Every structure is written in C-alpha cells, then in structure tokens.
Structure 1
Amino acid sequence: MAIDIGGTKIAGALVHPDGAMTAVTRRPTPRGTDADGVMAAVAEVVADLARDPLWARAVRCGIGSAGPVDTSRGTVSPVNIGAWREFPVQERTAAELAARGARIPVVLAGDGVAMTAAEHWLGAARGHANALCMVVSTGVGGGLILNNQLHPGPTGNAGHIGHISVAFDGERCVCGGHGCVESLASGTAIARWALAQGWTGPDPTAAGVAASAAAGDPVALAAFDRAGRALAAAIAATATLVETDIAVIGGGVAASGDTLFEPVRRHLASYAALSFVKDLQVVPAALGTHAGLIGAAAAAMMLLPTA
C-alpha cells in the first residue's frame, strides 16, 4: 500500500511485487482548512483503496511525504501544507488502515528518500549498490543508497543534498545557512538569478529560462551553468564522502535535459578528480510522475519486514 502526500495532491495505490500499480486514486491537497481537514483527504484515499479486492492482501504501507519530516516521531511539517506542523501522519494513517481491517506496519519517508528507493528498485539506479538520487524542482532534496540499503538516517533526512553549502560566502538560504545548493540550483533560484541578470523571457520560471537557454540566450545558459556547477560540487562532495558511483537527478528542472545535464557533467570533471570518484555517472531519473507512489512502496519494502 502506497500513499504519496504533496502540496497539490494526495495519491494512493496498491503496489505489486513487480512494481505494477492498481487501484490508483488521488485527491487534491485541501487548502484553507485545518490539520484534520487535510487528513480527511488522506482518509478518502485510504477508503478508495479499501474498496479494492486486493486490499486484504496488503502486507505493509509506505507513506512518502513532502518535508520536512521526522521519521523518528512519524511527523511531517510540509512547507506547502501549512495546516500540518509536526502532524502525526504515520499514527493517523495507521489508525485509518486499522479501522478498515488492515493492521499492517506503516513507514514514513520523505519524498527525496522515497524517490531514491523507487529509482533503486525499478529506475536509473537499479543495480548500483551505492547511489545518490536527487529531486531538483522548487527545492532540492535527495536520498542515499549505501551497500544496497536505503539510508534515511535517524530522522529520515540523510541525503538532503539541497542544504550542502557549496559557496561559503554565498547568499543566505531559507534554511538559515549560506551558499546552499538549493539557493543556487533550484528552479526558483535559476529563474531568480536569470531575472536579476537582465533576462527578459516571457515565462519567468525555470522552464522559461530552460527554453531560452535551448535557443542560445547567453543569460539563460549562464543561469543553468551556475546551477550545474553547484550540483556538480555537491554530487562530487557526496561521492567523495560515501563512495557513490551514480547520481540520479529527477524533478521539474531535470526535465530540461541536456540544458542541465551538460553543465553538471562538465563541471563534475573538475570536482570529482580522485581515482575512486572520477568515473561517477550522472543520469536522469527514469520513473517520472510514478516515483512518488512507487517510492513509498519501495521504502516500505526496504525499511519494514513483511507482516
């Protein structure tokens, strides 16, 4: 059983051992309501799944959620769900399942960790014992596979590459640090920097900047070069620390293709210079919009024993 909680939608599915999904359902993430109002949408998703004939065969449940998360407490405080602050989503979801006869173990994972589990199970990191997987979108998140095991850390935030500092005298990040990858390479940062440098494209988003870069606009190209360099520095630092051999990048900014990947790979050559990281691969994620639900199920498989 998989539940994917984000700022715009709450989705659910029954995920089979081969990764196939059935009974897929979704609800819009409620706005202008309290914590229980948001939880009501989760309960509706659970109710939809419970109507499926395969419901009784579910052995565990994975929840993937936008963060911050604290998996040690089972709580979430998603940036884009203002009604939830330290909300006990794991406990509340387990109660919804039990009320419908499914007394199964439930695990919580941040969306970056869930994406990592998905890509290692069925995606671009499959077959790699040590991998870094990243989501580059409005923010920058990620997760780690070490020795073929998902490594979420004590609170579920290990691999949160977006808040590695790659510019010690850089601007202050929303997290309170300076020069974080997210403040340089997120979609928001790319668009903000391009506009500050005089770019005047019609679509003031990272996608708009990417379109201009593909057409040869020098400011747009420089914006992606700056972002690619920040990502390359963080990827190389991570690989040097824990010896990952592949970095998988997904998310909306990664959809720009070589506009992003070319500068990442070019700059990586100068940052990943030691013998044990110089062959590090950087590849696009393979699972796209399915990564959230597949990742929630994969995290449950990797972090929980079979019931």
Structure 2
Amino acid sequence: MTQPWTLAVDLGGTKVDAALVRNGAVNSRSRSRQPTGASATSDQLAASVVAAVTAALAELPVGDTLDSVGVATAGPITIATGSTSPVNLPAWRDFGVRSLVARAVHEVHPGVPVHFGLDGTAITVAEHRYGAGAGIPNLMCIVVSTGIGGGILVDGQLLHGSTGNAGHLGQTYVSGFELPGRPSTAVTFGPRAVTVEEVAAGPGSLAWARQQGWMGDDGLALAADYAAGNAVAIAAVRRSAAAVGQAIAGAAALLNLDAVLVGGGFSRVTPQYTRLVQETVDAHPLPFVRATRVLPSVLGDDGPLLGAAALRHYSGAAAHQL
C-alpha cells in the first residue's frame, strides 16, 4: 500500500509555502508559494494561504491519499485555538489560520486532522529528525530572515510553553545597539536595549546599513558588497551576528544547550555568518556557555515544510488539531 501524504503549510512575513510531504521529502511538483507581506490586508493574506493550499493539493497523485496536515506559522501564536498574530503581518491579530486551512482542506479531504505550531518549533523538529540536529538532545534552532524565530529541544523533549511560543528568541532583548531613526522600544530596559529581531533580522540590518550611507537595494546586494569587502556591508553583517550571538549566549546560559542551528535567508548573507555568531558566544565568561556550538542548518528552504509535516509526531502539536 502506498504511504499517505501530509500537506505542509509554512506561513511567514513575506510568503506562504505549501507542499505535499512524504518520508521526509518535499514533493517539488506540489510546492506552491504565494505572497504575504506587512502591507497585505487580512483578506489578501487569507486568499494567499488558500491559494497555496489549493495548488498543493491539486498535485496529489491519482490514487494516493492525504492523512494529515501540518501548519507552521510565524508568531506569536495561541496553539490551543490555532490562531496567530505575526509581528510582521499586522493585519492578522488572533487570526484563526488553522481553521482557515482546515476549511480549505476539508472541502476535498473531509476529516483530515490539521496540526498546528510555531514556525521555529517546526524547523527544530525538522533539523532534529532529518538534519544537522540529529542526535543532539539539547538544541535550539533559529531562523534569521524577515524576522527571527526559533524552537527548543531540552533533554530530547520539544518545548511548546503554555501558548506554543517557546523559542521566540527574536523578541528577547539585547543591549549595546541603536535603531535607525527612532529610539529603543524597550524603554524599561534602558535606552540602548532593543529586540534581537529589530537589530539582526534582514529589514533592520538593511535599514542600519542605509543609515551608514550604503546604497544597496536588498539582502542580495548586501551579500555581494560584503564579499567585495565593502566596509559598511561588513559592519552590518557583523552587527547582526553579534546581536544573534548575544541572544544565543543568554539562551545557552538559561538552558545549557549543546548546539544552536542557524538558518534563514539573511543567515546566508555570507558563509561566515555562523562563525561570526560563534565569536560572540565564545566571549561569554562561563565555560558551559562557550561550549555551545553554533552551526548552520542544512535543510534550507525545505526545513519549514518538513517540520510542519512532522508536527503530528510531537505531543504538544498533536494535542491541538481539528
């Protein structure tokens, strides 16, 4: 008998991806991508999600079956209700994305369970099952992209937290950085405390570089200028890596991690990125923090979809399904 497929959905700040997944592999023919973005309305976001889901399902091979759906989304989320309030998608606040996906799927595949979780959790699941995190019991995986998110495994157990947001590293505070054009939002933490996402994610890094006189258009241009030795591009990338390293060191001090895997589009701005992050972790005064290895993730763009598909195997996500 042919093994059933899982539909995987990954919702982020600039796009939503959907694809069929089986045996730890993404069916590339089924992969569908639709735009999201900070300027999108709620109706536009919903239409993109439904379009991606519908297109992916249309590629289910004749005679094959679908037995589950996994939805991973940028957060914060509320796992019990299947709702999301992505920082970079302001039109959605407590939006029921799990129900939206379920309605689209159940029109053609009634009764298929829909599992739901944070995108950082899904990536951690994927790397632990199929990637560079295999066999590592105390693990954090983070994505540095339009935003910064993550997930955590401690003593081999995936952490969800009370609302499903464990691992939200991008919303932790770092110090010693200023934001272009506005004061820190973290007033209670002092005038120089900001979130790691504000400092180190792609948009913040590009904004800072432009404030220093850089004239490039996007992350690809910044990567090219970094490779060419442009001083501002180099400083922008090092600034991002330092903020990420500072946040990782704090997490490692709290959780005694073995390794942190770093992925996402902005982390690929240079092959040296994880080494630069490691340099900041190595500056921590405690030996057990310095022992934390910072490594690149290996699953690339397939990681979020593989993780979304695998959410069914983890109790926190499996307990919250339709």
Q: Give the direction of change, closer, same or farther, for the CA distance of 1:97–1:180 in structure 2 (3 Å limit).
A: same
Amino acid corresponding to residue 17 of structure 1 in structure 2:
N
| Structure 1 match to 2:4 | none
Does residue 42 of structure 1 match 2:55? no
Segments of 5+ residues of structure 2 without an aligned counterpart are: 1-6
| Structure 2 match to 1:276 | 288
Alignment of 1:1-307 (within 5 A): 1-21=7-27, 24-29=30-35, 35-36=42-43, 38-48=45-55, 49=57, 52-53=60-61, 57-167=65-175, 178-197=193-212, 199-200=213-214, 202-271=215-284, 273-302=285-314, 303-304=317-318
Q: CA deviation at 1:106?
A: 1.6
- Aligned partners of 1:77 and 1:19: how far apart in 2? 29
- Aligned partners of 1:101 and 1:224: how far apart in 2? 46
| Contact 2:196–2:244 (CA under 8 A) maintained in structure 1 | yes
Give the SS at the match of 1:10.
strand
Q: Give the direction of change, closer, same or farther, for the CA distance of 1:169–1:81 in structure 2 (3 Å limit).
A: closer
- Aligned partners of 1:253 and 1:146: how far apart in 2? 26
Deviates most, 114-123 or 5-14: 5-14
Count of aligned pairs: 304
Q: CA deviation at 1:60?
A: 2.4
Q: CA deviation at 1:231?
A: 1.4
Q: Give the direction of change, closer, same or farther, for the CA distance of 1:175–1:61 in structure 2 (3 Å limit).
A: farther
| Contact 2:172–2:247 (CA under 8 A) maintained in structure 1 | yes
| Contact 2:30–2:59 (CA under 8 A) maintained in structure 1 | no
Deviates most, 164-173 or 275-284: 164-173
Q: CA deviation at 1:59?
A: 3.0
TM-score of the two chains, using structure 2 as the length reference? 0.81
Q: Give the direction of change, closer, same or farther, for the CA distance of 1:187–1:108 in structure 2 (3 Å limit).
A: same
Q: CA deviation at 1:263?
A: 2.2
| Contact 1:132–1:246 (CA under 8 A) maintained in structure 2 | yes
1:175-230: CA deviation from partner (whole Å, max 9, x where unpaired): 87732212221222222223333x43x41434433333322233332222222222
Segments of 5+ residues of structure 1 without an aligned counterpart are: none
Q: CA deviation at 1:155?
A: 1.8
Give the SS at the match of 2:80.
coil
Q: CA deviation at 1:254?
A: 1.0
- Aligned partners of 1:55 and 1:83: how far apart in 2? 39
Deviates most, 284-293 or 28-37: 28-37
Q: CA deviation at 1:81?
A: 4.2
- Aligned partners of 2:221 and 2:167: how far apart in 1? 29
1:147-176: CA deviation from partner (whole Å, max 9, x where unpaired): 223212222211111122121785555687
Q: CA deviation at 1:39?
A: 3.1
- Aligned partners of 1:152 and 1:51: how far apart in 2? 32
| Contact 1:9–1:26 (CA under 8 A) maintained in structure 2 | no
Give the SS at the match of 1:92.
helix
Amino acid corresponding to residue 142 of structure 1 in structure 2:
G
Percent identity for Structure 1 against Structure 2: 35
Deviates most, 202-211 or 113-122: 202-211
- Aligned partners of 2:171 and 2:24: how far apart in 1? 34
Give the SS at the match of 2:19.
strand
Give the SS at the match of 1:276.
helix
Give the SS at the match of 2:175.
coil
| Contact 2:186–2:194 (CA under 8 A) maintained in structure 1 | no
| Contact 2:144–2:266 (CA under 8 A) maintained in structure 1 | yes
Q: Give the direction of change, closer, same or farther, for the CA distance of 1:7–1:138 in structure 2 (3 Å limit).
A: closer
| Structure 1 match to 2:3 | none
